[in-house]
Amino acid sequence: MIIYKSREEIETMDRANRIVAQVLASLAARVEPGITTMDLDREAGRLCREAGAKPAFKGYRGYPCVLCTSVNEEVVHGIPSPKKVLQEGDIIGLDFGVVLDGYYGDAAVTVPVGRVSDEAGTLMRVTREALHRGIAEARAGRRLSDVGAAIQRHVEAQGFSVVREFVGHGIGTALHEDPQVPNYGAPGNGPLLKEGMALAIEPMVNIGRPDVRIHSDGWTASTIDGSLSAHFERSIAITENGPLILGGDVAGL
């Protein structure tokens, strides 16, 4: 069941997502060779507490950390570790969420570690562009599949592939609400988009094949062929004036 949000609820979600965006921007600025993924998790927890919010991921279905850190071929849900030291040329996906006044915020960004290859840079750029092409389709009167179709079209035009196993989602008083938001598909299908819907749109894009495997930790998903993967996510609300990016326009997200 799709839950439509009032103007007041969207304002609360905007505040929650502003915290998420600010934390991700701070973490991205700290990414450098030699830092561990656990260092980033601890910093995310500290910033979350200072902002007066609750981490959304820690304890969710048993997830052990505040932040998801997915490095290179890891697609999503990488678990931070003091043993995971970032190296020059890596890329890292940072996925973070909070709960504020009962409402969730959720976003992700993929950033370079020092200097990266041209191919890695292109992958990140295309994935971020695909996210914003999907967001542009999230307007009242369109169909849900218009979002994923725009994402898939842009990604595949650049020679990359869209992950199928993981999709975006509705968001509100729960981290994951209806509807699911695939990053692929033919346009003109699925639920009619209406004012008051809140969606977390999150393309995951691989350089190689779209297939993924889940590690023995039960969380980390990696490309099956070892190719690099990037992940960008923003939560949005559909308004009478078009899609509203919750948390505002933050550089790099």
Distance of CA 23 to the CA centre of its chain: 14
d(Cα 126, Cα 156) in Å, to the nearest integer? 10
Q: Which residues pair with 100 in a beta bridge?
A: 103
Tell me the pTM.
Answer: 0.97
pLDDT class of 47 with cuts at 50, 70, 90: very high
What number does CATH give the domain 7-245?
A: 3.90.230.10
Element (DSSP H or E) covering residue 7: helix 7-30
What string of DSSP letters covers 97-119?
A: EEEETTEEEEEEEEEESSS--HH
pLDDT digits (tens, 9 = 90+) for 102-148: 999 999 999 999 999 999 999 999 999 999 999 999 999 999 999 99
Q: Are 105 and 246 in contact (CB under 8 A)?
A: yes
What are the domain boundaries of the chain?
A: 7-245
The Cα–Cα gap between 123 and 236 comes to 23
Q: How far apart are CA 3 and CA 71, in angstroms?
A: 34
Of the pLDDT bands very low, low, confident and very high (cuts 50, 70, 90), residue 252 is confident
Give the pLDDT score at 251: 76
Residue 250 pLDDT level (bands cut at 50, 70, 90): confident
φ and ψ at 207, to 5 degrees?
-70, -40
Mean pLDDT for the stretch of residues 197-219:
98
Largest CA distance in the chain: 49
| Cα gap 71→78, rounded to integer Å | 7
Q: How confident is the model at residue 249 (pLDDT cuts 50, 70, 90)?
A: confident
Report CA 81 to chain centroid distance, whole Å: 20
